[in-house]
Structure 1
Amino acid sequence: MARLPEGLSLRLAPEDEYPHSPEAAGTYNESMYFNLFDPEQQVGGWFRIGNRPNEGYAEISVCLYLPGGPVAFTFGRPKISGNSAMDAGGLKVEVVEPFRHLKLGYRGKLLLLSNPFEMADPRAAFAANPQLDSEIQIDFEGISPMWGGETVKADGSPLDLDPEKSFARAHYEQHVAGRGQIRVGDFAFQIAGFGLRDKSWGPRTWQSIPWYRWCPMNFGRDFAMMISIVGRPDGAARMGGMVLKDGRYDEIVEAAIDSDWDDHGYQTALRAEVKTESGADYRVEGRILSLIPLRNRRTGPDGVERLTRITEGMTEYRCDGLVGYGLSEYLDQIEDGRPMGPDFRPPA
């Protein structure tokens, strides 16, 4: 991770793979996220479960990019009591061995979208498309060191956070390999490939960040990358991420992303340039193969409703003559109908 200010340190322990005791903030969130892309079949997906025990529900999302462009998707807010497990709404994560082996399973309905853009209006999308019985079982293997953790004070005590301005108290990521089985209705297939997982906990308000660009990608077991550019309220941006090469992480210290857009204002391609702590330079080109637009709405303490848009694109990446796969996740607060990200160029 980037160098921390004096008096702060980063803490991460195997027990952090398991649920923590929730703090008092009403917006406390503890979430686990996984993505996986099969380079041979050019299919993939991502999965998230986020417990909000103080609000009495979990956030779950399951998204599969199927052959030919359809997307199978669901989200929900199943009720939970407490924060004892990552298990809600048919989605379950089991820690077999911290930092090395985790299992993910889902059993329930998935909405089959031949046109994923319909999810811009979730109510209409769910009314117009079939929901199919589905089952997913995937084993994830850590293939990299851990990246991240919880920033704490010198004495080990937690930082003081404003819940309305916080996205996470702690966050870590790891590149992974995965293998398993997927069934959507009568369509079943094996999946094997590479991806990235993360975990975070602490107060989370989706509207606390003006915009971000998050691009995790894998070119194989020994070369992978995650590029992160996060907008700040003062107009600046925080650049970060890492490059996995030969089993080690090289910190990204500079990053820039330029994007192309379609008539809906969704990303269709990107070009990224990064520089690492070791002085290495990388140029990455991305082409979005399939994309689903999602949203989050929240009424703030001032009574004003705010809209957050998150576009999730399965992306083919090229770097140093290699071809890989991953995600381009673009989060933007929407103001006057326009995404806030500075690289957004509205259609001509």
Structure 2
Amino acid sequence: METKPGLQRAREKRNMDKPRLERPVVETIDHVTPSLLGAMLGNLAVTDFEAERIGTGQVGEVYRLRVRYSDEKENNPATVILKIASRDPRSRASGLSLGIYNVETRFYDELAPAVAATTTCVPDCCYSAYDKDSGSFALLLEDVGADALVGNDLHGATLAQAQLAMAELGRLHGALLPLVQQAENQWLVQEKRLNAAMFEELFHAFKGRYRGRVTPEHLLICEHWVQSFAWYMDATRQPNVMALLGVIHGDYRMDNMLFPAGGDQAKVVDWQLLSVGPLASDLAYFLGGCLDPADRRGWLRDLLQTYLDALTAATGGQPLVTPEQLEHDLRMNAFYGVTIAITSSILVRQTDRGDDMFITLLSRHCELVRDLDALVILPGAPVTGVKDWTPLRPEPQDELPHPAQENKYWSESWYFDFVDESQGIAGWVRLGLTPNLKGNWYTALVSRPGKPLLLLEDYAAPASSGSGHTLHIQVEHYEVTHDVAPGEELKTYRIRFSGKAAAYDTPDGVLRGDPASSADEDLALDLTYHSAGTPYQYRISPRYEIPCAVSGVVTINSQQTNLHEVPGQRDHSWAPRDFWSLDWVWSSFHFGSQHYHVTELRFFGGARMPIGYVQQTGGEVRELEGVVCRETHNNVAGDEGRLVSKMDMTVTPRGGEAVKVSVEPVGHAPLRLVSDDGRVSLFDRAWGRVRLEDGRTGVGWFEWNQNVLGGEQV
């Protein structure tokens, strides 16, 4: 299909306009006016338009716009497709933090014009814009027609559709191949976000949800793959493992294809997962997931040849690989679809159609693994649950600051808490370096039952003036120094804070955003944290935690409270942390010399992931296999001031019996966190008493990150 002349003019006009990051974006469809649409179309005289929502995207909204003009010229496009970010705050946050909005708009702006001479599978784009702060974006694309056939993963592809898909994929890969080596395209080298520990936890949630719908044979394939994932990732980083590397679509399947009337073309949409990778991963994903296994077995060799012929033609007529090399790469990437089916089913909102689709895709991809005998590339024979669970330890140098990453929400966090139940005082402190936000974060809170909560919060703190072993921040109303002595890494840490804190008569007012009763309370902390257990390094993220005995002085308006080896903990992390895209429950509590560090991550799709460990008396660390947290709030749903009034936890160490824990909050010290685009997270924190089934009691800190969507918490 030739480019529509009206869109061609608009695209040329767009290319003379401002850079992509400076062009106007569209927040919602209600913000689109005829004048804005006319400007996006290359200054056409738009008088009116009608918008119709199409598609069911999770992180974006797509509309067909029927456009009317003051000068009805033949070349003016009657309809166009507008794609914008989801108005759902959590979906938008996911799109922003994962970088997929940026990738898709950048593809249409920078790469799509370069491949237009080789393939017609990319819809013509006349406007693209992206706001890196809010995540808002706009894409104005050609409309291939309301009568175009939309691909369907569940129905699968016909032979004619599969042949079109393979031919277009070969042309696309060939057209994009020269762009990989260009310096300006290094953004295509995407960071691998999935590691072995996270994949295993997601698979654990997957089994819990779908065990009855997955055949034993396919479940065994999944278990073997999950157990071999770390080995595979290391092995495929070696040179020459794959014959063909280039730019991949990353989500090449029927749901992302349109077949215009006439049947001789395929249009490919949703370029959000574009990256550099093995070209055969796109092949494996389509051939495994979009074809009935019986059809695929009969069509496979012909379809691979169709792909090879198109690739060869697009790259100058000289074959890049032999059919045997392509089949090798296909086998090496046969598990790509298995991975996507497992992870996506847990990370997106659960629906009946989604469940059917993911189970169907998993079954088809497992059959591809069997047909290609891909299990032979993995080490050993299938096993069930055999793994080295030796706890990980941080290195002493991990105490020091780490190089920042470009992710907007990347932060490096040092956190400290303490509880002195006998004197009725507890507190927590956090320093967060956030180089890609408006400033660093510093929070210090002290809770005393029956007395006002003291709170210092600064989300625009200056950079630390210290270096190496010392972090130092000084502004007009507070000064803070965090330091660890050389040679004392992972053993001893000291924090000093002095400044003016706000006082809140009731902590629920913090969650509502109420004004403080006083803003001029003197607060000083001079605390030393002595490690009282084994430092533990998390598997899924660069983070470690250390149970501690805390000593020092808390001074409030000249009144001192001396602490002597009271229970507490400290942790240090350096990774992206988006408070507004994920809910969780975190806790650290102590029974004498036994310490629990328990986290339950709560995903958008309803799945929950357990993380953490229990340190037995004597320092033995046992990681957790299961965590279930059920909290009760003291206010009705929808009240942003609601606090957790109690919580029951079931904690299961690996290879051990489940332990039931009841939590009674004593004092709350929460925060109301507001992102730069207006999203709100109610960050309830409380210290309290805990009781085990055997009657033992202890104390600790608990944290509930609760996102607010449309005025209600989820």
TM-score range, shorter chain: 0.7 to 0.9
Q: Are 1:270 and 2:674 an aligned pair?
A: no
Q: Find the aligned partners of 1:125 and 1:30 in 2 and give their Cα distance.
A: 29
Match of 2:433 in 1: 51
Query: What is the letter of the counterpart of residue 445 of structure 2?
Result: C
Question: Deviation of residue 299 (structure 1)?
Answer: 4.2
Query: What is the letter of the counterpart of residue 197 of structure 1?
Result: R
Provide structure 1 residue ranges, at least 5 long, that are not aligned to the other structure: 152-168, 341-348
The one of 123, 129, 134 equivalent to 2:518 is 129
Residues 158-307 of structure 1 correspond to what in structure 2 (within 5 A)?
170-192=542-564, 193-209=566-582, 211-220=583-592, 222-246=593-617, 247-263=619-635, 264-299=641-676, 305-307=678-680
Match of 1:143 in 2: 532
Match of 1:101 in 2: 492
Question: Deviation of residue 186 (structure 1)?
Answer: 2.8
Query: What is the letter of the counterpart of residue 24 of structure 1?
Result: E
Relative contact order: is structure 1 or structure 2 higher (C-alpha 8 Å, sep ≥ 6)?
Answer: 1
Q: Find the aligned partners of 1:25 and 1:261 in 2 and give their Cα distance.
A: 34
Deviation readout 1:225-250 (Å, 9 max, x if unpaired): 12210012332111121111111111
Question: Deviation of residue 130 (structure 1)?
Answer: 4.0
| 11 and 226 in structure 1: CA distance in 2 versus 1, 3 angstrom threshold | closer
Q: Find the aligned partners of 2:464 and 2:472 in 1 and give their Cα distance.
A: 11
User: Is the CA contact 1:49–1:91 (under 8 Å) kept in the aligned structure 2?
Assistant: no
Match of 2:688 in 1: 315
Give the secondary structure class of the aligned counterpart of 2:461. Answer: coil
User: Is the CA contact 2:535–2:545 (under 8 Å) kept in the aligned structure 1?
Assistant: yes
Give the structure-2-normalised TM-score: 0.42
The one of 462, 481, 486 equivalent to 1:79 is 462
| 321 and 42 in structure 1: CA distance in 2 versus 1, 3 angstrom threshold | farther
Q: Find the aligned partners of 1:81 and 1:92 in 2 and give their Cα distance.
A: 9
Deviation readout 1:159-217 (Å, 9 max, x if unpaired): xxxxxxxxxx51111111101101111321112311121111133322231x1011211
| 98 and 280 in structure 1: CA distance in 2 versus 1, 3 angstrom threshold | farther
User: Is the CA contact 1:110–1:184 (under 8 Å) kept in the aligned structure 2?
Assistant: no
| 83 and 20 in structure 1: CA distance in 2 versus 1, 3 angstrom threshold | farther
User: Is the CA contact 1:60–1:91 (under 8 Å) kept in the aligned structure 2?
Assistant: no
Question: Deviation of residue 67 (structure 1)?
Answer: 4.7
User: Is the CA contact 2:446–2:669 (under 8 Å) kept in the aligned structure 1?
Assistant: no
User: Is the CA contact 1:212–1:228 (under 8 Å) kept in the aligned structure 2?
Assistant: yes
The size of the alignment, in residue pairs, is 315
User: Is the CA contact 2:581–2:707 (under 8 Å) kept in the aligned structure 1?
Assistant: no
Q: Find the aligned partners of 2:539 and 2:436 in 1 and give their Cα distance.
A: 21
User: Is the CA contact 2:523–2:556 (under 8 Å) kept in the aligned structure 1?
Assistant: yes
Q: Find the aligned partners of 1:279 and 1:116 in 2 and give their Cα distance.
A: 38
The one of 425, 447, 453 equivalent to 1:65 is 447
Q: Find the aligned partners of 1:240 and 1:202 in 2 and give their Cα distance.
A: 16
CA RMSD of aligned residues (A): 2.4
Question: Deviation of residue 281 (structure 1)?
Answer: 2.5
Match of 2:75 in 1: none
Give the secondary structure class of the aligned counterpart of 2:515. Answer: helix
User: Is the CA contact 1:109–1:131 (under 8 Å) kept in the aligned structure 2?
Assistant: yes
The one of 222, 230, 240 equivalent to 1:6 is 230
Query: What is the letter of the counterpart of residue 309 of structure 1?
Result: L
Look at both structures and tell me which one has the larger radius of gyration over its CA atoms.
Answer: 2
Structure showing the higher helix proportion among its residues: 2
| 71 and 146 in structure 1: CA distance in 2 versus 1, 3 angstrom threshold | same
Q: Find the aligned partners of 1:292 and 1:141 in 2 and give their Cα distance.
A: 24
Structure showing the higher strand proportion among its residues: 1
Q: Find the aligned partners of 2:687 and 2:708 in 1 and give their Cα distance.
A: 22
Range with bigger deviation, 41-50 or 318-327: 318-327
Match of 1:346 in 2: none
Range with bigger deviation, 89-98 or 245-254: 89-98
Give the structure-1-normalised TM-score: 0.83
| 51 and 82 in structure 1: CA distance in 2 versus 1, 3 angstrom threshold | farther
User: Is the CA contact 1:49–1:61 (under 8 Å) kept in the aligned structure 2?
Assistant: yes
Q: Find the aligned partners of 2:699 and 2:706 in 1 and give their Cα distance.
A: 23
Query: What is the letter of the counterpart of residue 125 of structure 1?
Result: P
Question: Deviation of residue 317 (structure 1)?
Answer: 0.9
Q: Percent identity?
A: 21
Deviation readout 1:238-297 (Å, 9 max, x if unpaired): 112111111111111111112221124321011111111131331111111111332212
Provide structure 2 residue ranges, at least 5 long, that are not aligned to the other structure: 1-196, 201-226, 235-391, 636-640
Deviation readout 1:87-145 (Å, 9 max, x if unpaired): 224222111211110001101112222322221244x423x324212211001011111
Question: Deviation of residue 219 (structure 1)?
Answer: 1.7
Give the secondary structure class of the aligned counterpart of 1:208. Answer: coil
